[in-house]
């Protein structure tokens, strides 16, 4: 009697659900490209990128004002130097090349749920080996061959430097955040050591030990008569290739499954250990390549102690872009504008050079805050303020 | 429990803990339905019942982890609300959970005084004194400086009990404390219960083993579908023969056959009224027999997996499944069912033994093959962990439908995804399996459990299955989806597709299967043919009987 009652109730519930989903369908609550989803996309873009950017500019402006400088002049210089002036824009584009390659390496790793934070070591080992060998090798072979050989070598070295963390993760499940950071510390110092011990230039009277200089004519070819070297193209191609790979290929889907749900990866029969190693190698190769491109395109040599420490700034950018290649390119451009423009703007305003980084940090913080609120809104949760006022009222009521 | 209070006798008339009308509803489940029972001083009160009968919910209410929707708890006659585990401890109610709560890297003493800080410091000397006191009450030796993670399982459990007793002057609650113990450990635990009882403590203890309840309990309460199905008092427990007691408990637990069949029949009538066109459901009421069963399709020879702290492992499993046969795996959950399923699916390698699968006309060895290769040979696995393992929640229904075919034609060509093929595949699955989803592109995590199960079932059975492992195939599903899943299994069997069905619900296995293998502690302890006596045989084996 009672059992059958329960059965009946459950069946009615099920019917109610069925009706609800049918009415959803009628109301056009289906996914797929529609008018509402396009406005939704624009709204999201505004909310998640433009608004935080404006908030960061405003906050930074107030800080500059508080320091007794003119914020409008400051931002004017950033825009002029970073985008408007031809030489500044070239600097910006040059700066983008290694950042894009690093971003490509991070997209691969993060999509697969692998925290490769050892990019600096991988980058510098690639850079140092190329810096040490490029000039000598260019004596022995034509430029094109030398460049391909050097780029390949930098990628191979960067990839090789991930093998220890990769095997430790794949074999024993050891946390790669620790191992990649430790290997990075070793790599950074080893890169410096390589320059001092093996690749020291025979020139005399140097204050800082460095490698031989690669002739400007032997470096990466520049684009359209500007100073922008073809590393930018390599970087753009890398990010777009990774973007497409993650979305349309078997390897991309396998890495995405691995990153989204390791248990499901096992369950679906994916070779998890192998995929982890592949992810590390790919990621490290892009990092090493970034180092090679920076030396072959811009520096032409490597000094002992050289470490631009580019990778950790790119980490939050890639996350905020949700591993989307196109958005990453836009963010990397923004970062480059802010750093190149910021260098001059801070100098003119008499502010410390780190002030440019402060603006970058503000942008990142505001973007993260926007993400947080958006995620809460999607989950239908109450806002922080509502929750806080609830708690205060509850405490007051309880007499605490 | 203080040494002084240990000598006190029952002086009040009111029971130590009296719960009345406890009701707790979780989304879709009525976990506790108007439960009333009383727990007396100096008694061991056993809670019995199938998985999902509501035992764990009840003790989590007593230990302050969950708050009931309705009902009252009286402690020594005073109405009390237990709002947090800390409050339960302050009331003297200590709980030993099924999972380990010790910090493996800390010493025994550190673990015990961890939650009892005075100010900012840990009071070691006081802790030592209390530990000695409790160890002597329990009659064991405990090394306070041993590292918790180094201790054997039964030693760890003693520490868990001491931890629960630390402030527990009133009651000790244990959730399946014997599940991981060897018989000697169970006997030792029984002795401890006697000593604690003598001290006036009340003990509430969950077990699946009837003989433990009969030997160790003073009072037995059986829960069924969230309600108290029956109880046996101390006088009866002491006077009756254990054989008779056991029969009675089995009857209370699983119900007599008559009522069971009555319920099922009513349920089918309801569904048919709702959907007169689904005449095929009528078949659901018919017996599992009447199918022709063919040659062996899957053969397990001495399949073994080493035991680990978290698992009984598997020990010399020998099973043969014929074409078109439905084999049920019965037994209390956690006795090797998951391990068996994973070993068959290829998610886990056997440590020894062989598995053969009928392919291209002969039995081929498959125990070294992976999930994908076995899947292509027609062996499929419907996992019980729908959201955790079987699907990727952040991906679409259509991708989840081809999750085990990454790289295979026609969905991928030259390693490039063929979105059109994947979409078409999804549309046909949605149509054929009545998957309720806004679209094929919807993230699967947005679907209900029943619809996720339909997606998994579609994925595993759409392209030429030969044998399908179903792990708890209807767990948590509404009645209609449940019947649809069972009907699909039956229909495929009629077409010659074998099935291995793992379930905690005996009723489900009896409804579906031709034969049953009963698992206990990673061993097959009996094979039972479906028939009028099957339920009793399986029930006997499940509650610790010998091989018949």
- What DSSP line would sit under A214-227, residue for residue? PPGGGSPPBSTTSS
User: If you count residue pairs, one on A and one on B, with CB atoms under 8 Å apart, how many are there?
Assistant: 102
Q: A19, A111, A261, A398: which to substitute to probe chain B, counting the most B Cβ within 10 Å?
A: A261
Partner B contacted by A264 (CB < 8 A): yes
Residue pair A119/A327 in contact (Cβ under 8 Å)? The answer is no
Nearest to B347 among A3, A248, A266 (CB): A266
A147's CB contacts (< 8 A; 6+ apart) are: A220, A296
The pLDDT value recorded for residue A296 is 93
Q: Is A26 exposed, middle or buried (0-12, 13-18, 19+ CB in 10 A)?
A: exposed
ipTM surpasses 0.90: no
Q: How many Cβ atoms sit within 10 Å of the Cβ of residue A66?
A: 9
pLDDT tens digits for B438-497? 889 988 988 877 889 899 999 999 888 999 999 988 876 766 778 888 999 999 999 889
Partner A contacted by B107 (CB < 8 A): no
Q: Which carries the bigger pLDDT value, residue B343 or residue B55?
A: B343
Task: Sketch the domain layout of chain A as residue ranges.
Answer: 49-84+338-364, 92-323
Nearest chain B residue (CA) to A28 = B438
Q: Which carries the bigger pLDDT value, residue B360 or residue B262?
A: B360
Chain A residues inside the 8 Å CB shell of B478: 10-11, 13-14
* Strands ordered across the beta sheet of B362-365: B314-322, B296-305, B352-359, B362-365
Q: Is a pLDDT exceeding 90 seen at residue B53? A: no
Chain A residues inside the 8 Å CB shell of B370: 269, 271
Long-range contacts of A232-237 (CB under 8 A, 24+ apart): A232/A93, A232/A94, A232/A96, A232/A97, A232/A100, A234/A97, A234/A101, A234/A151, A234/A289, A234/A293, A235/A96, A235/A97, A235/A98, A235/A99, A235/A100, A235/A101, A235/A104, A235/A290, A235/A293, A236/A100, A236/A329
Chain B residues inside the 8 Å CB shell of A263: 385, 388-389
CA A245-A250-A254 angle, 5° bins: 95
Nearest to B392 among A3, A8, A264 (CB): A264
E strand spans, B133-201: 171-174
d(CA A340, CA A78): 8
- What DSSP line would sit under B265-333, residue for residue? HHHHHHHHHH-TT-GGGHHHHS-S------SEEEEEEEEEE--BTTB--EEEEEEEEETT-EEEEESST
Which residues partner with B78 through β-bridges? B75
Q: A256, A264, A266: which to substitute to probe chain B, counting the most B Cβ within 10 Å?
A: A264
Percent of chain B with pLDDT over 90: 26
Q: Mind telling me how many Å the CA of A374 is from chain B's nearest CA?
A: 17
Q: Is A139 exposed, middle or buried (0-12, 13-18, 19+ CB in 10 A)?
A: exposed
Chain B residues inside the 8 Å CB shell of A17: 436, 448
Using alpha carbons, list the distances in angstroms from residue B349 to A85, A262, A309, B306: 64, 17, 44, 11
Tokens of A220: 């990466």
Q: Mind telling me how many Å the CA of A262 is from chain B's nearest CA?
A: 8
The pLDDT value recorded for residue A43 is 79
Partner B contacted by A262 (CB < 8 A): no
CB contact under 8 A, A269 and B415: no
Chain B residues inside the 8 Å CB shell of A4: 263, 266-267, 270
Nearest chain A residue (CA) to B274 = A11
**What mean pLDDT is predicted for residues B119-138?**
79
pLDDT tens digits for B250-293? 778 766 543 343 333 333 333 333 443 433 333 333 344 455 56
Residue with tokens 């637990």: B253
Nearest chain B residue (CA) to A253 = B406
CA A366-A370-A374 angle, 5° bins: 170
Q: Is a pLDDT exceeding 80 seen at residue B386? A: yes
Residue pair A350/A74 in contact (Cβ under 8 Å)? The answer is no
The pLDDT value recorded for residue A138 is 86
Partner A contacted by B436 (CB < 8 A): yes
* Strands ordered across the beta sheet of B171-174: B93-96, B171-174, B202-206, B44-48, B219-224, B227-232
Q: B31, B345, B403: which to substitute to probe chain A, counting the most A Cβ within 10 Å?
A: B403
Q: B263, B375, B392, B471: which to substitute to probe chain A, counting the most A Cβ within 10 Å?
A: B392
Q: Mind telling me how many Å the CA of A260 is from chain B's nearest CA?
A: 7
Chain A residues inside the 8 Å CB shell of B407: 250
The three-class DSSP label of residue B467 is strand
Partner B contacted by A270 (CB < 8 A): yes
CB contact under 8 A, A32 and B346: no
Chain A residues inside the 8 Å CB shell of B448: 17
Chain B residues inside the 8 Å CB shell of A255: none
The pLDDT value recorded for residue B437 is 85
d(CA B346, CA B329): 18
Residue pair B41/B14 in contact (Cβ under 8 Å)? The answer is no
Nearest to A3 among B263, B390, B442 (CB): B263
Q: How many Cβ atoms sit within 10 Å of the Cβ of residue B438?
A: 16
Nearest chain A residue (CA) to B371 = A269
Taking chain A (400 residues) in consecutive chunks of 10 residues, what is each chunk's mean pLDDT?
Answer: 40 36 38 56 79 90 88 89 90 94 96 93 95 88 91 96 94 92 94 87 78 84 85 95 95 94 92 95 96 92 87 89 91 91 87 82 88 73 59 52
Q: Mind telling me how many Å the CA of A265 is from chain B's nearest CA?
A: 8
* pLDDT band, very low/low/confident/very high, at B52 (cuts 50, 70, 90): low
CA atoms within 13 A on the CB side of B260: 15
Partner A contacted by B297 (CB < 8 A): no
Nearest to A11 among B270, B385, B392 (CB): B270
The pLDDT value recorded for residue A42 is 79
* pLDDT band, very low/low/confident/very high, at B45 (cuts 50, 70, 90): very high
CA atoms within 13 A on the CB side of A280: 24
The pLDDT value recorded for residue B256 is 54
Q: Over chain B, what is the mean pLDDT?
A: 81
Q: Mind telling me how many Å the CA of A363 is from chain B's nearest CA?
A: 28
Q: Mind telling me how many Å the CA of B417 is from chain A's nearest CA?
A: 5
Partner A contacted by B399 (CB < 8 A): yes
> Quick one: how far is CA A125 from the chain centroid?
19
Nearest to A10 among B391, B415, B478 (CB): B478
Q: Mind telling me how many Å the CA of B368 is from chain A's nearest CA?
A: 13
CB contact under 8 A, A269 and B390: no
First to last CA, chain B: 44
Of A367-376, B31-40, B70-79, B286-295, least confident by mean pLDDT is B286-295
For the four alpha carbons of A87, A88, A90 and A94, in that order, the dihedral sign comes to: positive
> Quick one: how far is CA B55 from the chain centroid?
12
Residue pair B271/B479 in contact (Cβ under 8 Å)? The answer is yes
CB contact under 8 A, B372 and A7: no
Q: Mind telling me how many Å the CA of A1 is from chain B's nearest CA?
A: 8
Question: Of chain B residues 453-512, which have a CB less than 8 A from chain A?
Answer: 478-480
Which residues partner with B302 through β-bridges? none
CB contact under 8 A, B266 and A4: yes
Chain A residues inside the 8 Å CB shell of B347: 266-267, 269
Q: Mind telling me how many Å the CA of B404 is from chain A's nearest CA?
A: 5
CB contact under 8 A, A257 and B370: no
Of B139-143, B230-234, B281-285, B335-339, least confident by mean pLDDT is B281-285
Of A113-117, B92-96, B543-547, least confident by mean pLDDT is B543-547
pLDDT tens digits for B152-197? 777 888 888 888 888 777 889 988 887 666 666 778 888 888 888 8
CB contact under 8 A, A267 and B436: no
Residue pair A314/A231 in contact (Cβ under 8 Å)? The answer is no
Chain B residues inside the 8 Å CB shell of A13: 478
d(CA A250, CA A263): 18
Q: A7, A8, A262, A322: which to substitute to probe chain B, counting the most B Cβ within 10 Å?
A: A7
Using alpha carbons, list the distances in angstroms from residue A167 to A111, A163, A275: 19, 6, 11
Q: Is the pTM of this model over 0.80?
A: no
Chain A residues inside the 8 Å CB shell of B436: 17-18, 21
Residue pair A346/A352 in contact (Cβ under 8 Å)? The answer is yes
The pLDDT value recorded for residue A236 is 96
Nearest chain A residue (CA) to B391 = A264
């Amino acid at each position: 009697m009672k059992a059958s009652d329960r059965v009946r109730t459950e069946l009615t519930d099920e019917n109610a659900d069925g009706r609800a989903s049918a009415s959803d369908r009628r109301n056009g609550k289906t996914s797929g490209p529609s008018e509402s989803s396009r406005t939704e996309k624009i709204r999201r873009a505004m909310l998640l990128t433009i608004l935080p950017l404006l908030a960061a500019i405003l906050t930074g402006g107030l800080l500059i004002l508080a320091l007794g400088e003119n914020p409008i002049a400051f931002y004017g210089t950033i825009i002029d130097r970073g985008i408007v002036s031809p030489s500044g824009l070239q600097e910006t584009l040059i700066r983008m090349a290694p950042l894009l390659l690093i971003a490509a390496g991070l997209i691969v790793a993060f999509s697969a749920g692998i925290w490769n934070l050892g990019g600096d070591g991988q980058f510098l080992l690639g850079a140092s080996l190329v810096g040490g060998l490029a000039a000598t090798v260019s004596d022995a072979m034509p430029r094109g061959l030398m460049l391909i050989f050097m780029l390949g070598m930098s990628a191979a070295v960067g990839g090789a430097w991930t093998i220890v963390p990769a095997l430790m993760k794949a074999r024993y499940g050891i946390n790669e955040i620790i191992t990649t950071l430790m290997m990075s510390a070793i790599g950074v110092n080893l890169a410096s050591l390589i320059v001092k011990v093996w690749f020291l230039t025979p020139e005399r009277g140097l204050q800082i030990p460095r490698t031989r200089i690669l002739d400007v004519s032997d470096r990466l070819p520049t684009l359209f008569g500007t100073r922008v070297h073809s590393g930018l193209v390599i970087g753009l191609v890398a990010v777009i290739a990774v973007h497409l790979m993650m979305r349309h290929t078997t390897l991309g889907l396998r890495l995405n499954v691995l990153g989204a749900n390791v248990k499901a990866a096992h369950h679906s029969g994916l070779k998890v250990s192998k995929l982890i190693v592949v992810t590390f190698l790919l990621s490290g190769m892009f990092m090493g390549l970034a180092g090679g491109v920076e030396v072959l395109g811009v520096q032409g040599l490597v000094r002992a102690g050289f470490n631009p420490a580019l990778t950790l700034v790119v980490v939050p950018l890639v996350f905020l872009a949700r591993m989307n290649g196109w958005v990453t390119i836009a963010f990397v451009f923004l970062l480059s504008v802010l750093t190149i423009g910021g260098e001059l703007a801070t100098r003119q305003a008499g502010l410390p050079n780190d002030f440019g980084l402060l603006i970058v940090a503000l942008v990142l913080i505001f973007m993260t805050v926007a993400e947080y609120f958006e995620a809460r809104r999607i989950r239908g949760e109450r806002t922080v303020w509502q929750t806080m006022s609830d708690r205060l009222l509850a405490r007051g009521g309880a007499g605490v | 429990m203080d040494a002084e209070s240990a000598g006190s006798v029952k002086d009040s008339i009111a029971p130590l803990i009296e719960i009345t009308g406890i009701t707790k509803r979780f989304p879709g489940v009525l976990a506790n339905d108007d439960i009333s029972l009383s727990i007396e001083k100096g008694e061991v009160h056993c809670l019995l019942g199938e998985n999902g009968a509501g035992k764990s919910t009840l003790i989590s209410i007593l230990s302050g982890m969950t708050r009931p929707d309705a009902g009252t708890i009286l402690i020594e006659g005073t109405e009390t609300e237990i709002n947090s585990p800390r409050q339960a401890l302050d009331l003297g109610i200590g709980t030993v959970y099924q999972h380990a709560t010790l910090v493996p890297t800390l010493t025994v003493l550190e673990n015990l005084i961890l939650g009892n800080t005075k100010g900012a410091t840990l009071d070691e000397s006081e802790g030592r004194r209390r530990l000695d006191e409790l160890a002597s009450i329990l009659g064991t030796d405990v090394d306070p400086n041993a590292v918790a993670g180094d201790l054997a399982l039964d030693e760890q459990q003693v520490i868990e009990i001491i931890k629960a007793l630390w402030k527990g002057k009133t009651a000790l609650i244990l959730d399946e404390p014997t599940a991981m113990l060897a018989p000697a450990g169970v006997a030792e635990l029984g002795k401890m219960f006697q000593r604690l009882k003598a001290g006036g403590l009340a003990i509430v203890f969950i077990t699946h083993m009837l003989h433990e309840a009969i030997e160790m309990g003073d009072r037995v309460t059986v829960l069924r579908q969230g309600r108290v199905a029956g109880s046996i008092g101390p006088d009866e427990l002491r006077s009756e023969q254990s054989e008779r007691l056991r029969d009675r408990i089995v009857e209370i637990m699983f119900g007599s056959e008559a009522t069971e069949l009555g319920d099922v029949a009513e349920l089918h009538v309801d569904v048919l009224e709702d959907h007169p066109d689904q005449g095929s459901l009528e078949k659901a009421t018919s017996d599992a027999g009447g199918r022709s069963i063919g040659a062996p399709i899957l053969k397990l020879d001495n399949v073994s997996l080493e035991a680990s702290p978290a698992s009984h492992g598997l020990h010399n499993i020998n099973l043969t499944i014929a074409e078109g046969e439905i084999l049920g795996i019965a037994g209390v959950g956690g006795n090797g069912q998951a391990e068996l399923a994973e070993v068959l699916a290829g998610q886990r390698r056997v440590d020894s033994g062989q598995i053969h699968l009928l392919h291209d006309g002969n039995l081929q060895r498959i125990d070294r093959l992976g999930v994908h290769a076995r899947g292509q040979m027609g062996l499929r696995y419907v996992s019980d962990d729908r959201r955790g393992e079987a699907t990727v929640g952040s991906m679409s229904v259509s991708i989840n439908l081809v999750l085990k075919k990454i790289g295979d034609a026609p969905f991928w060509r030259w390693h490039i995804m063929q979105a059109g093929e994947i979409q078409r595949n999804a549309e046909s699955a949605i149509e054929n399996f009545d998957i309720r989803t806004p679209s094929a592109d919807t993230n699967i995590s947005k679907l209900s459990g029943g619809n996720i199960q339909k997606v998994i079932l579609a994925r595993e059975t759409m392209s030429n299955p030969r044998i399908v492992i179903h792990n708890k195939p209807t767990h948590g599903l509404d009645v209609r989806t449940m019947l649809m899943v069972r009907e699909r299994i039956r229909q495929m069997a009629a077409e010659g597709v074998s099935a291995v069905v793992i379930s905690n619900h005996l009723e489900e296995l009896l409804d579906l299967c031709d034969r049953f293998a009963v698992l206990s502690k990673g061993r097959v302890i009996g094979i039972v043919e479906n028939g009028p006596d099957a339920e009793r045989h399986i029930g006997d084996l499940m509650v610790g009987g010998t091989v018949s």
